[in-house]
Structure 1
Amino acid sequence: MTIRILPNHLVNQIAAGEVVERPASVVKELVENAIDAGASRIEVFIRGGGLNKITVRDNGKGMNAAELPLSVERHATSKLTDDNLDRIASLGFRGEALPSIGSIARLSITSRPQDQDSGFSIRVESGKKSKPVPAAHNIGTSIDVEDLFYATPARLKFMKSPATESAQITDTIRRLALACPHIAFDLNDEDGAILKLNAGQGDFFSTIRARVVDVMGGEFAANHLPIDVERDGYRLYGLVSIPTYSRGNAQMQFFTVNNRPVRDKQLLGALRAAYQDVLASDRYPYVALYLDIPAQDLDVNVHPAKTEVRFRDANKVRGLLIGAIRAAIASEQSLTSSSSNQSAMIMAFQRRETAQNYVAQHQSGFSDFIPMARNLDSAAAEAIETQIHHPLGAAVAHIHENYIVAQTESGLILIDQHAAHERIVYEKMKNEMAASGIKRQILLIPEVVKLPAGQSRVLLERATELEKLGLMVESFGADAILVREIPSILGKSSVAGMIEQLSADLSDMDGSLELEKNLWQICSTMACHGSVRSGRILNAAEMNALLRQMEQTPNSGQCNHGRPTFIELSLSDIEKLFGRK
């Protein structure tokens, strides 16, 4: 077969394969054009999940009759000059979107610039464009895309259901709306409104916060940490959730770099590292972060879809993000999520009608309990008086063999003893590791642990590395491990349970990575099994000692899995429950 130059319509279809992956890709390209045109309001309408029709209207600067034909030519753009490729400020710059869309769908563009009284319209179908014709239109541009992928039926077969494609479009609009809080966005389909976001008012940070609440929900507003740091010309700002407010997927994680929404693996990796001490691996924080860096330090010309970027100094970006989030968490470590849980608790404690005969039946015998109550008060009064001034107060009760009730000067606190001690053990292990290594204790009787087929090998392959963590294991026949030493800080922990969980964790890890890459996950597993277990009854001295340790421990507001270690109820909240306020 001889070499030949491909026809333009085929070249455009090939380019469309990279630029237009699905209807959401079309919406992204068209909305980005509207943003670059200076629009303050953008309206999007979709039908059939965007496969049947997509309409994008804006009130931007518009195009005249001479510019319309150029807008659908490949590599024709008003956003790029010869010398600014290394400092691109606009969202679009390739000049590929409109011709690519026109090669695989029926495309029509109507536009009117600010300096003209009427507009013009042009159509593109199968890569062939019509001449501009006069058309009535407000200032701005309207673009209609119909029958997407009709010219490439093979791609059409890979599309999901209209509902799935609509969800992808909604996510795209969310990301663009968060990047541009000063712009109003409307998204509608054949069934009505999907998103309606008003333009933000006030200073930029207030505008961002209002838009984040609109996109991510009101509960996030009550469970977020503000971020605003700057280092060597790099500024990171926005909102992230406290560790106890998370979700089971990453759909609410939004990054904007130089006003460009991105999905960058480096940023996601840094985010995971920032939360690794306080959040389980299967939980994801809510994030809306903005990064402003010098344009010359950012390469946006990585992929035609423009969702990936490359940083000149990736380590600086990673360090800035991890440091900022960890500092925010550390400064607010006492926070626990205040979502619908509190209202549910109030509902559970609503006053109930009490049967009169029940009161009458027990009233006469109530005096029998008074001496006992006085004795308890007398015995506990001194301990409460000496401990109550501490932030977590004084332990006054132990309930259900797992929860400590503590009285503070302003209310009461309910503590999960296992979750709290797990965090304490974990932080101590980290400190020992950073100082002189984790201290080991020799088991008087080595423990044999039977493991599922194949998992003993996983542990034995890491035996040398595990020894650095205070755990000495060796082979004991087929699929069994002999444990001789464990970290001394774990005390009388469940060795078998810890080994079983460790083997499962190591099996899930990348075998090519050194154990140190997952060091804190391993420490977290051991800390969990070395903590005070649920079901163990503690006396007053033990409970108060645990409270004092919590007060001296970083991130003590949540366990290693992101769950809260304690819940605080102020006296005002208690009085509300009883209708006193």
Structure 2
Amino acid sequence: LRTEKTELKHCDNVLRKIALSRFDITLIAKHNDRNFLEVNSCDFLSDGSDRVGQISGKQFADQSIYLENAATDIQVKGWISLPTFSRSQADLQYFYVNGRAIRDKVIAHAIKLAYKDVLYHGRFPAFVLFLEIDPSQVDVNAHPTKHEVRFRQSRYVHDFIRHTVGKAIAETMPKQEQQGAEQYREIVDDYIRAAQTNSALPSNSYMPKSGSSPSHVRETGHGYGAQVVNEYDLLLKTPPEEAHTAEEAPPLGYAIEQLHGIYILAQNANGLVIVDMHAAHERIVYEQLKASYQQGDLATQPLLVPLTINVSPQDAALAEQYSEVFLKFGFRVERFGEDSIVVREIPSLLQQADVNTLVLDVLADLSMFGTSEKLEQANNELLSTMACYGSVRAHRKLTIAEMNALLREMEATERSAQCNHGRPTWVQLSIDQLDKLFKRGQ
């Protein structure tokens, strides 16, 4: 045996799994005459979330969504974390098959794919899921400890779980009561604590240098150049009506101003909404590209003046080799001599993008993936790159109507709470948080 503390932790983990497997039982665990785990029986549907919170933590319960789906001989239900709640390791993942707690690579892979373009790199989702399936379709003797199973139709189970989880995430739209990720609320709480104690602001607070101005703020990350979107026709369809009161505002509210050419400040019924306009528009364009690609109808636009790009002989050969792949993504690219290519047609969604740099990046991806099969598997990564180029850039001055149009598009777009790289696109500061900052009512 190991140390008492380590063994107690193992016992606690086992008991928590048991507690989640049977909501109809009361479980009390004692150590040295002290209860270290105590949960009461409850109804799964009406009080299940409370029990999950007792076992997995209140943060998970508050930032999770309930899902349920059924098909022939298979059903899944339970709770999955919003992308705003994630872990540095896979330590808050509970999966049950016919009431038995199991670990399964097929299930883990399916859930990973469902979160792949909404979760920040290196982070893991949390979930408590229950799968009911025909016992004849499961081999429970696949592992001596019975912790693993083997599905007779693993592909069917994999796709069912991936579709169910992915659909639940996609259909989760911004809510007025949503506060954003805990890690971002902690930043605000630091300021609140500092204000309440009259101490200095946190050391990482931003204080402009003398003579600084918004023009000194630049967007970090991709460094795709100073190309900006000069048109906003994709978003500006019909100017929204102004709300008479904050309570009448939609989930993301109505824009009131733009900050440093990067953020949109909006007011909703809950308080202040701050939107990263590039990240938000990137997600919108990405979802549009994915939908068009999957339907095989990416709208394209011929260039009035074909674009000639000087490349290495190797890249020229690569462009020629993968010309059909380029066509699938809406580009008509042809080899032009030994060391150059010519672009004659591009996707309509990317008409304001830096096509030169984008094509070079796609060639780099092609070179990395090496084969068309691997490229097909990575099409979302390529579409993500395209969306980044096609989205509005930092320092693009937007009108109030354009900002409101962007907010409405976010509300109508799946997975709009995160950009393609898993970063949040917006956060909320509630009136209560703002009141605490200014010590109102104290």
State the TM-score, normalized to the length of structure 2: 0.72
| Counterpart selection for 1:495 from 355, 366, 376 | 355
Map of 1:219 onto structure 2? 59
**8 Å CA contact retained: 1:256, 1:290:** yes
Once residues 352 and 172 of structure 1 are traced to their aligned partners in structure 2, the CA distance between those partners, rounded to angstroms, is: 39
**8 Å CA contact retained: 1:222, 1:339:** no
Change (3 A) 1:464 1:240: same
User: Secondary structure, in 3 states, of the residue corresponding to 2:65?
Assistant: strand
Deviation at 1:208, TM superposition (A): 6.2
Once residues 281 and 225 of structure 1 are traced to their aligned partners in structure 2, the CA distance between those partners, rounded to angstroms, is: 21
Map of 1:257 onto structure 2? 97
Once residues 229 and 561 of structure 1 are traced to their aligned partners in structure 2, the CA distance between those partners, rounded to angstroms, is: 28
1:569 pairs with 2:433: no
Once residues 235 and 554 of structure 1 are traced to their aligned partners in structure 2, the CA distance between those partners, rounded to angstroms, is: 24
Change (3 A) 1:288 1:466: farther
Map of 1:533 onto structure 2? 393
User: Secondary structure, in 3 states, of the residue corresponding to 2:278?
Assistant: helix
**8 Å CA contact retained: 1:179, 1:256:** no
**8 Å CA contact retained: 1:415, 1:567:** yes
Deviation at 1:424, TM superposition (A): 1.2
Change (3 A) 1:513 1:387: farther
| Counterpart selection for 2:182 from 317, 339, 344 | 339
**8 Å CA contact retained: 2:282, 2:392:** yes
Once residues 382 and 435 of structure 2 are traced to their aligned partners in structure 1, the CA distance between those partners, rounded to angstroms, is: 44
**8 Å CA contact retained: 1:226, 1:237:** yes
**8 Å CA contact retained: 1:175, 1:254:** no
Q: How does 1:147-158 map to 2 (within 5 A)?
A: none
User: Secondary structure, in 3 states, of the residue corresponding to 2:136?
Assistant: helix
1:46 pairs with 2:2: yes
Once residues 427 and 415 of structure 2 are traced to their aligned partners in structure 1, the CA distance between those partners, rounded to angstroms, is: 14
Once residues 170 and 460 of structure 1 are traced to their aligned partners in structure 2, the CA distance between those partners, rounded to angstroms, is: 61
Deviation at 1:534, TM superposition (A): 1.9
Choose between structure 1 and 2 for higher RCO, CA contacts under 8 A separated by at least 6 residues. 2
Which residue identity lines up with residue 300 of structure 1 in the other structure? V
1:308-337 CA deviation, whole Å, 9 max, x = no partner? 322234454334323432343244221563
Deviation at 1:270, TM superposition (A): 1.9
Map of 2:111 onto structure 1? 271
**8 Å CA contact retained: 1:462, 1:515:** no
Gaps of 5+ in 2: 200-239
Which residue identity lines up with residue 421 of structure 2 in the other structure? H
Change (3 A) 1:345 1:180: same
Map of 2:157 onto structure 1? 317
| Counterpart selection for 1:446 from 294, 307, 330 | 307
Once residues 191 and 133 of structure 2 are traced to their aligned partners in structure 1, the CA distance between those partners, rounded to angstroms, is: 50
| Counterpart selection for 1:408 from 268, 277, 280 | 268
Change (3 A) 1:219 1:306: same
**8 Å CA contact retained: 1:201, 1:207:** no
Deviation at 1:400, TM superposition (A): 1.5
Larger radius of gyration: 1
Deviation at 1:256, TM superposition (A): 1.9
Change (3 A) 1:308 1:386: same
User: Secondary structure, in 3 states, of the residue corresponding to 1:230?
Assistant: strand
Once residues 483 and 439 of structure 1 are traced to their aligned partners in structure 2, the CA distance between those partners, rounded to angstroms, is: 16
Change (3 A) 1:296 1:498: same
Once residues 170 and 509 of structure 1 are traced to their aligned partners in structure 2, the CA distance between those partners, rounded to angstroms, is: 45
Once residues 170 and 450 of structure 1 are traced to their aligned partners in structure 2, the CA distance between those partners, rounded to angstroms, is: 62
1:145-170 CA deviation, whole Å, 9 max, x = no partner? xxxxxxxxxxxxxxxxxxxxx9xx68
Deviation at 1:215, TM superposition (A): 5.4
Deviation at 1:565, TM superposition (A): 1.6
Once residues 470 and 223 of structure 1 are traced to their aligned partners in structure 2, the CA distance between those partners, rounded to angstroms, is: 38
Gaps of 5+ in 1: 1-44, 57-165, 355-381
Deviation at 1:570, TM superposition (A): 3.4
Once residues 466 and 174 of structure 1 are traced to their aligned partners in structure 2, the CA distance between those partners, rounded to angstroms, is: 54
| Counterpart selection for 1:426 from 286, 302, 326 | 286
Deviation at 1:286, TM superposition (A): 1.6
Once residues 537 and 445 of structure 1 are traced to their aligned partners in structure 2, the CA distance between those partners, rounded to angstroms, is: 29
**8 Å CA contact retained: 1:387, 1:393:** no
Map of 1:115 onto structure 2? none
Map of 2:191 onto structure 1? 348
Percent pairwise identity: 35
| Counterpart selection for 1:543 from 403, 415, 424 | 403
The alignment's C-alpha RMSD in Å is 4.1
Map of 1:560 onto structure 2? 420
Once residues 574 and 208 of structure 1 are traced to their aligned partners in structure 2, the CA distance between those partners, rounded to angstroms, is: 33
| Counterpart selection for 1:229 from 69, 91, 95 | 69
Once residues 396 and 432 of structure 2 are traced to their aligned partners in structure 1, the CA distance between those partners, rounded to angstroms, is: 32
User: Secondary structure, in 3 states, of the residue corresponding to 2:2?
Assistant: strand
Map of 1:293 onto structure 2? 133
Which residue identity lines up with residue 332 of structure 1 in the other structure? T
User: Secondary structure, in 3 states, of the residue corresponding to 1:324?
Assistant: helix
Map of 2:324 onto structure 1? 464
Once residues 497 and 175 of structure 1 are traced to their aligned partners in structure 2, the CA distance between those partners, rounded to angstroms, is: 52
Map of 1:101 onto structure 2? none
1:518-570 CA deviation, whole Å, 9 max, x = no partner? 33232122112211112322222322222232233223222222322222233
User: Secondary structure, in 3 states, of the residue corresponding to 1:405?
Assistant: strand
Once residues 93 and 187 of structure 2 are traced to their aligned partners in structure 1, the CA distance between those partners, rounded to angstroms, is: 27
| Counterpart selection for 2:254 from 386, 390, 394 | 394
Deviation at 1:417, TM superposition (A): 0.4
Once residues 308 and 240 of structure 1 are traced to their aligned partners in structure 2, the CA distance between those partners, rounded to angstroms, is: 21
**8 Å CA contact retained: 1:225, 1:241:** yes
1:167-221 CA deviation, whole Å, 9 max, x = no partner? xx68974884566465566899xxxx9x954455323568865664455443222
